[in-house]
Amino acid sequence: QVQLVESGGGLVQPGGSLRLSCVASGNIFSLNRMGWYRQFPGKKRELVSTISNGGTTYYPDSVKGRFTISRDNAKNTLYLQMNSLKPEDTAVYYCNGVQRTFPWGQGTQVTVSS
């Protein structure tokens, strides 16, 4: 069974940066469009960014210009570089497929606060 393990979260001041990583136990990245999601307390998960097999990316307006998604298929690893972080980015961040999802990992907490 595929396992997704996210890491890289933490506490950062507004304007700071973090780089999230997601490692999959199986070779799923080369087969699927992958994405980063986030979940605010009491809310449903929302899509933060996606990347296709060919490297085409998508960002909602809320993170466009600040977040960058990338992938290393050889390492089964997905990344999210987050710059110019805002308090409203505070959430638990997850990675998963987009058209096809796998069991959710534990996520990684990102807290943006002064």
Q: How do the pLDDT tens digits run along the chain, 114 residues long? A: 889 999 999 999 999 999 999 999 877 877 789 999 999 989 999 999 999 988 999 999 999 999 999 999 889 999 999 999 999 999 999 999 999 899 999 999 999 999
Quote the pLDDT of residue 26.
Answer: 78
| DSSP letter, residue 42 | T
- Is the CA virtual torsion 24, 29, 17, 63 positive or negative? negative
Can you tell me the distance from the alpha carbon of 49 to that of 80, in angstroms, rounded to the nearest whole number? 8
Yes or no: say if 112 and 85 are a contact pair by the CB < 8 Å rule: yes
Residue 99 structure tokens: 């058209």
